[in-house]
Amino acid sequence: MPTSIPNYLDASSQLLYAAAIERGITCETFPETQVIKMSYQGKSWYTAGSRTSFQSAIGQTIADNKALTKVFLKTAQAPTAESVLVTDENQLMELKKLHFPLVMKPQRGAHGVGVIVGLADFAAARTAFLNQTNPVIFEELLQGTEFRIVCINFKFAAAALRQPAQVTGDGQHTIAELIELKNQHPWRDEGHRGKLSLIKIDEILIQNLAQQQLVLTSRPAEKQVVILRQTANLSTGGEAWDLTDQVSPVNQRLFETIAQTCDLNVIGIDVMCQNLTDPIAHQPKAGIIEINKSPGLRMHHFPVQGRTHDLAGQIIDFAIKEAIKL
Q: What is the pLDDT of residues 161-200, one digit of tens each?
A: 988 899 999 999 999 999 999 999 998 988 777 788 899 9
- Cα torsion 1, 21, 239, 235 to 10°: value is 110
Residue 219 has pLDDT above 90, yes or no: yes
Q: Say if residue 262 is exposed, middle or buried (CB neighbours under 10 Å; 0-12, 13-18, 19+).
A: buried
- State the pLDDT at residue 196: 86
Q: What is the pLDDT of residues 13-45, one digit of tens each?
A: 999 999 999 999 999 999 989 999 999 999 999
Residues with Cβ within 8 Å of residue 88, at least 6 apart in sequence: none
Sheet holding 51-52, edge to edge: 26-29, 35-40, 43-48, 51-52
Residue 109 has pLDDT above 80, yes or no: no
Residue 138 has pLDDT above 70, yes or no: yes
- State the pLDDT at residue 1: 43
pLDDT-derived band at 114, boundaries 50, 70, 90: confident
Average pLDDT over residues 147-151: 97
Residue 312 has pLDDT above 60, yes or no: yes
Mean pLDDT of the chain: 94
Domains in the chain (CATH in brackets) are: 11-54+310-325 (no CATH), 82-141 (3.30.1490.20), 166-230 (no CATH)
What amino acid occupies position 57?
A
Q: How much is the pTM?
A: 0.83
| 109 vs 167 pLDDT, higher one | 167
What amino acid occupies position 310?
D
Tally Cβ neighbours within 10 Å of residue 145.
16
pLDDT-derived band at 111, boundaries 50, 70, 90: low
Average pLDDT over residues 225-231: 92
For the chain, what percent of residues have pLDDT higher than 90? 84
Q: What is the pLDDT of residues 239-256, one digit of tens each?
A: 899 999 999 999 999 999
- State the pLDDT at residue 243: 97
Residue 51 has pLDDT above 90, yes or no: yes
